[in-house]
Amino acid sequence: MKPIIIGGGIAGLSLAYFLKKNSIVLEKEKTPGGLCRSFEFNKISYDVGPHTMFPGKEGVMKLLISSAKTNKIKRSNKIYHKGRLIKYPFESDLASLDDRDREYCLKEFLHNPYKNSRAQNMLQFFLKTFGQGITKLHLQPYNQKVWKISPDQLDIRLAERIPKPLKEDIIKSAQGIETERHAPEFDCYYPDRGGIQETTNGLLKIIADKSRIVCSIKIKRIYRENGIWQVATNKGNFSSRLLVNCMPLHELFKYLKAPQYILKALHGLKYNSIYIVPVQAKKDNIGNNLALYFADKDIIFNRISKLDFLGSNYRLKNHHSTVLAEITYRPKSYLSKLKSKEVRQRVIAGLDKLNLVKKEDVVDVALRSFEYAYVVYDLNYKKKVDCILKYLLSIGIYCCGRFAEFEYLNIDGVVEHSDKLAKKLNEKNNL
Ligand SMILES: Cc1cc2nc3c(=O)[nH]c(=O)nc-3n(C[C@H](O)[C@H](O)[C@H](O)COP(=O)(O)OP(=O)(O)OC[C@H]3O[C@@H](n4cnc5c(N)ncnc54)[C@H](O)[C@@H]3O)c2cc1C
């Protein structure tokens, strides 16, 4: 019996690659790839927010980067702050702030009353690590905007992703001296054409001989009979001794019976969805930057990216540019209830207000929304996730992926996890 993998995102597809035995991947959408799919807008490919790939650990990412023709990208990301563009991360470019803000950030960093405190949430971590100036001016409002939750309600685990600044680097940053750690690097990869979907397609080609990918699947029920997992779907029943879940946990429990305490834990897990709004315009004032970040709560988007930056195949022939706006929102929130026309209008109004793209220069605009974009690490999430994953393992269901493990993983992290799980399963089941 072939192992069944539910969910054909990068987790499911890379797991199919790493498993020794041939497997079946069941995918809900018409096209596999999950968050690593791309879409076309007037012949320009765009992703769910540009998916640049980081080299990660040797071997694992090599597989992905080599699965399509990719270019090395010199990232240039900035933060829009009071009409100025500050290099990302904020603390690396204090010299670009006005005199008052720069003094405030530097003084609060050097004489930080929170320095020796014990941080138990993200707000306390920001204050302790960066001081009140950088926290109040940028980190607190930006994180509130992206996560839709106050940073004092965010688990300290998010800090694992944030590099801690050195004192001498902050002093140099205020003097306008670039530090080695923050020097621009050729540090990420992006497909030459077709968006991140090309990488997914490359991987699909590699696994074509050993995996059967069944798309447009509608699962009806998941249950176990005589030690064999059964997945009842619109395309028939699939059976296996080995079931790996790579789709979001919130999806899995729509089809799998579970005790009340597990469902309670599941309903306590918060996640954010995202609107992706591509805007094509005759011209823009974004400069030679890939992405700009916005903490201002009166601007609807938290990030915009200029796709032209990703290579000649992402440039419109008539020299118009494509800007991709991202708006995170919580399901059932005020933002989730906006009509798509209103979201598009507010994106255009925001770009116009900040003089990044004038309203009269906009040629075309579209919108897509994706339910599962970001797992939210609120203060109690870890206990709930551990409880759910432990239960699933106890009944013989393995989980792998961003929403399947409820872990804030990027592509490299997901592929690393699928590699690790495959090693365990290959050994254990002698697959
Ligand atoms: C805005 C944004 C920007 C990002 N940028 C980057 C970046 O620049 N670099 C980077 O490395 N990572 C980036 N990421 C993270 C990256 O997208 C994820 O880590 C990765 O794609 C997750 O893969 P996955 O397979 O775990 O999950 P998913 O891609 O979510 O895959 C889950 C799959 O399960 C399927 N599914 C759902 N329900 C069902 C069902 N009922 N039945 C069957 N199948 C189902 C879905 O259709 C999907 O294909 C970004 C993420 C977001 C949201």
For residue 152, what is the DSSP state? G
The Å distance, Cα 105 to ligand 1 centre, comes to 36
326 lines ligand 1 (CB under 6 A): yes
Among 51, 310, 327, 419, residue to substitute to test ligand 1 (most atoms within 8 Å of Cβ)? 51
* The amino acid at 173: S
Ligand 1, atom 35, residue with closest C-alpha = 7
6 lines ligand 1 (CB under 6 A): yes
The label of the residue with tokens 């992926």 reads 401
Q: What is the pLDDT, as a whole number, of residue 273?
A: 98
401 lines ligand 1 (CB under 6 A): yes
Among 190, 410, 419, 421, residue to substitute to test ligand 1 (most atoms within 8 Å of Cβ)? 410
Q: What is the pLDDT, as a whole number, of residue 217?
A: 98
Residue 62 has pLDDT above 90, yes or no: no
Q: Which CATH number fits domain 4-38+58-69+197-269+378-428: 3.30.70.20, 3.20.20.210, 3.50.50.60, 3.40.50.150?
A: 3.50.50.60
- CA geometry: angle 333, 335, 337, nearest 5 deg: 75
Q: What is the pLDDT, as a whole number, of residue 430?
A: 53
Q: What is the pLDDT, as a whole number, of residue 180?
A: 66
**What does the pLDDT average to over 198-218?**
96
Q: What is the pLDDT, as a whole number, of residue 106?
A: 98
Q: What is the pLDDT, as a whole number, of residue 56?
A: 64
Phi, psi dihedrals of residue 421, rounded to the nearest 5°: -65, -40
**What does the pLDDT average to over 15-33?**
97
Q: What is the pLDDT, as a whole number, of residue 429?
A: 67
Residue 61 has pLDDT above 90, yes or no: no
Work out which ligand 1 atom sits closest to the CA atom of 254.
Answer: 41
The Å distance, Cα 197 to ligand 1 centre, comes to 12
Query: What confidence category does residue 186 fall into, taking pLDDT thresholds of 50, 70 and 90?
Result: low
Residue 49 has pLDDT above 90, yes or no: yes
Comparing 57-66, 108-117, 295-304, which segment has the lowest mean pLDDT?
Answer: 57-66
Q: What is the pLDDT, as a whole number, of residue 182?
A: 57
Rounded to the nearest 5 percent, the helix, strand and coil shares of the chain are 40, 25, 35
Is the pLDDT higher at 229 or at 54? 229
Give the sign of the dihedral formed by CA 236, CA 238, CA 239, CA 243.
negative
Work out which ligand 1 atom sits closest to the CA atom of 411.
Answer: 11
Query: What confidence category does residue 402 fall into, taking pLDDT thresholds of 50, 70 and 90?
Result: very high
Q: Give 379's Cβ-side CA count (13 Å radius).
A: 11
The Å distance, Cα 326 to ligand 1 centre, comes to 16
Q: What is the pLDDT, as a whole number, of residue 161?
A: 84
Residue 268 has pLDDT above 80, yes or no: yes
The Å distance, Cα 348 to ligand 1 centre, comes to 27
| Homologous superfamily of 271-375 | Protoporphyrinogen oxidase, mitochondrial; domain 2 (3.90.660.20)
How far apart CA 402 and CA 411 sit, in angstroms, is: 9
Residue 184 has pLDDT above 60, yes or no: no
Q: What is the pLDDT, as a whole number, of residue 400?
A: 98
Mean pLDDT, the chain, whole residue set: 95
Q: What is the pLDDT, as a whole number, of residue 74?
A: 85
How far apart CA 97 and CA 306 sit, in angstroms, is: 23
Q: What is the pLDDT, as a whole number, of residue 181?
A: 64
Ligand 1, atom 37, residue with closest C-alpha = 247
Among 15, 54, 247, residue to substitute to test ligand 1 (most atoms within 8 Å of Cβ)? 247
Q: What is the pLDDT, as a whole number, of residue 50?
A: 96
**Quick count: other Cβ atoms within 10 Å of Cβ 107?**
14
Ligand 1, atom 40, residue with closest C-alpha = 28
The Å distance, Cα 36 to ligand 1 centre, comes to 6
274 lines ligand 1 (CB under 6 A): yes
Among 14, 28, 29, 35, residue to substitute to test ligand 1 (most atoms within 8 Å of Cβ)? 35
What does the domain layout of the chain look like in residue ranges? 4-38+58-69+197-269+378-428, 77-182, 271-375
| Alpha-helix runs per DSSP H in 300-368 | 340-353
75 lines ligand 1 (CB under 6 A): no
Residue 411 has pLDDT above 70, yes or no: yes
Comparing 101-115, 154-168, 326-340, 390-404, which segment has the lowest mean pLDDT?
Answer: 154-168
**What does the pLDDT average to over 315-321?**
90
Q: Over pLDDT 70: what percentage of the chain?
A: 97
pLDDT digits (tens, 9 = 90+) for 196-207: 999 999 999 999
Work out which ligand 1 atom sits closest to the CA atom of 328.
Answer: 1
Residue 187 has pLDDT above 90, yes or no: no
411 lines ligand 1 (CB under 6 A): yes
Residue 405 has pLDDT above 70, yes or no: yes
303 lines ligand 1 (CB under 6 A): no
Query: What confidence category does residue 178 fall into, taking pLDDT thresholds of 50, 70 and 90?
Result: confident
